[in-house]
Amino acid sequence: MINFEALFRISYGLYIVCSGDKKHGNGFISNTVFQVTAEPPKFALCCSKKNFTTELIKETGAFSVSVLHIAASPDLFGRFGYRSGKDFNKLEGINVQYGESTGVPIVLNDSIAFLECRVIQTVDVGTHLLFIGELLHSGILDDAKDPITYLYYRQIRKGAAPKNAPTYIDKSKLEPIIRATEFKKYECTACGYIYDEAIEGKKFTDLPPDWVCPSCGTAKEDFIEVNN
Amino acid sequence: MINFEALFRISYGLYIVCSGDKKHGNGFISNTVFQVTAEPPKFALCCSKKNFTTELIKETGAFSVSVLHIAASPDLFGRFGYRSGKDFNKLEGINVQYGESTGVPIVLNDSIAFLECRVIQTVDVGTHLLFIGELLHSGILDDAKDPITYLYYRQIRKGAAPKNAPTYIDKSKLEPIIRATEFKKYECTACGYIYDEAIEGKKFTDLPPDWVCPSCGTAKEDFIEVNN
């Protein structure tokens, strides 16, 4: 038997992974970046085959990783985590430098460190690809802040994984929690964040019109009521 | 240029990974366990080719992962992290259950959740192998405690990665920190933990004889003085 709650006990950081070049760059929020060898330093990165950035990594053979800090802006999660770069330039207005070895964009906003890697192996694991990259270049951007973890994002900031994430879990698979309540719930149509009146202690309709999703920054009007 | 400090900003948990069976089981401390697909749930695990457990995973085609909690005993890190199972039965005296699908040992001590996986792909990434395992069985063992992270282990508990870890970093590669001091340093010969008198504010020789390494539980007498 699989208990899906157990999967949430595996620890991850949160990163903006980018690829492409100055003309056509894109990035997405990833939680599956990890070192696989020390000599030489190599990193594995897991990407949905459906992600636009995956196409760019295949084309350029390179990617960057920006390590987000614990207070990273919800706008960054909204922009890079829950929208597609196919019809929207995610890097417009973002503070970017370009990799000294590969030319890939590297997001600097709310990032404490970065890696620049060249792909040396690609492994098909089903719905996702594992890119194995050799580290070419890395640096510290902010030495004072801690990296954000996926646990912190879920528990404290109440964020949810987008559907293309390796760690996405269909809520119907989790154990049902029985609550006797008259309160309503509203779901963010961009990221799946649930505003639960029973937890928040305030009616959704009483929130100000400029209120935005605390997880991804989507407007209040893009929430829909969901069944308890 | 590679700044090795940047590599420490990547987040990991800490796990005891086991393989083998009731007669010949073994395990080691791993920080590189991560989900790679959601449908079906699959996990990647990175293992040194030199690890004894790696041989057992190749033989049995299966492994378990026990997620350690934040207060996990230093003895577990000493036993599973810095000793080889080739000449020592690491599972003796440990609370173990055996996987319902594969029979692999699963360590229950100080663990909050477990996974049992069958290997479906093996990827050679150089000094290490990436095992891709399909999740067969998972459970929660303790719902109250948080998982330990590698950052917490390094910063708060002052643990170091063993030499076979994908994230091992030769200290000579880190930026030198200049300290004008008459204090001495002592290194744990098992795990590499450094007792620095300048930080601890107490002479190593003044520590009680039953003092043990806070990282791995090794005896005081197994520390050696090292040059500043």
Taking CA–CA distances from A135, the nearest residue in chain B reads B2
CA–CA separation, B65 vs B136, rounded Å? Answer: 12
> Are A137 and B2 an interchain contact pair (Cβ–Cβ within 8 Å)?
yes
User: How many Å is the Cα radius of gyration of chain A?
Assistant: 18
CA–CA separation, A222 vs B79, rounded Å? Answer: 52
Look at the block and give the residue holding tokens 């770069």.
Answer: A85
Taking CA–CA distances from A127, the nearest residue in chain B reads B37
Taking CA–CA distances from A30, the nearest residue in chain B reads B36
Partners of residue A113 on adjacent β-strands: A67, A140
pTM listed for this prediction: 0.79
Eight-state DSSP code of residue A94? S
Contacts of A43 in chain B (CB under 8 A): 10
Contacts of A137 in chain B (CB under 8 A): 1-2
> Are A135 and B2 an interchain contact pair (Cβ–Cβ within 8 Å)?
yes
**Nearest chain B Cα distance for residue A1, angstroms:** 5
Instruction: List pLDDT tens digits, range A127-170.
Output: 999 999 999 999 999 999 999 998 888 877 777 777 888 888 77
CA–CA separation, A145 vs A142, rounded Å? Answer: 7
Nearest to B166 among A37, A114, A165 (CB): A37
Instruction: List pLDDT tens digits, range A36-52.
Output: 999 999 999 999 999 99
What is this model's ipTM? 0.79
**Nearest chain A Cα distance for residue B154, angstroms:** 13
Taking CA–CA distances from B114, the nearest residue in chain A reads A6
Contact A83, A7 (CB under 8 A): no
Low-confidence ranges of chain B (pLDDT < 50): 176-181
Nearest to B132 among A34, A115, A125 (CB): A125
Of A55, A4, A29, residue with least CA distance to A190: A29
